[in-house]
Amino acid sequence: MEFALARGAAVWRGLERGIDTFSLENVISLRSRAADLRRSLDTVIMHADRRTDQLRQGKTQMKMPDDADWVWRPDVFATRLGQMSSVVKSARHGVGTSIAVHHNDNDPELIVRQFKNMGVDDLAPFGLFVETYEFKGSFLSLAIDLPSEAATGLKKNHIFEVEGKLPLDHPMPVFMRLNINMVQM
């Protein structure tokens, strides 16, 4: 299978390089065949995603540790959002129903993009990229609003555990802060 896929990709790369020398009829024909191939590739990707989801069934389910009262995963990491990527312009930018990106850059060049996790060991079905270009602000934060159930019965001796992967292009300090606003009734 690998050989056939590599060979097919090489053929298309060769056609791409030579397209400036093709006649109008050949360019139109090539475009039509490329569109057919794109439809086939989109179908393969759709079926591969479905099969990946089937094979991961149970692997991406939240496992509650023995000593935990409660477990939760934000929607951004649990389900596909309608819009997979967006450009951040405002100082607060919502992502899904429970996450917001905050920053203080006057002219931000930020992109927030949800992606499907494809690693064998990935526990969450989806991940989140926050890409910055020449960031000039003094802070960039990802705020996660917990559901109200998280505060039910919460006491000072409770412990919060957060798991995540933070691949970085270059070393930089990363901090986590927990703000809890307990509303008394």
- Phi, psi values for residue 26, rounded to 5°: -70, -40
Supply the pLDDT for residue 60: 59
- Phi, psi values for residue 147, rounded to 5°: -65, 160
Supply the pLDDT for residue 90: 80
pLDDT tens per residue, range 87-100: 887 888 888 888 88
Task: Name the region of 29 (left: φ>0; alpha: ψ -120 to 50; beta: rest).
Answer: alpha
pLDDT classification of 65: cutoffs 50, 70, 90: confident
Q: How far is CA 79 from CA 41, 115, 136, 154, in A?
A: 23, 10, 32, 27
Supply the pLDDT for residue 94: 82
Half-sphere exposure of 78 (CA within 13 A, CB side): 11
Residue 83 tokens read as: 């819009």
Residue 134 tokens read as: 């020449």
pLDDT tens per residue, range 139-162: 888 888 888 777 777 888 888 888
Position 185 pLDDT exceeds 50: no
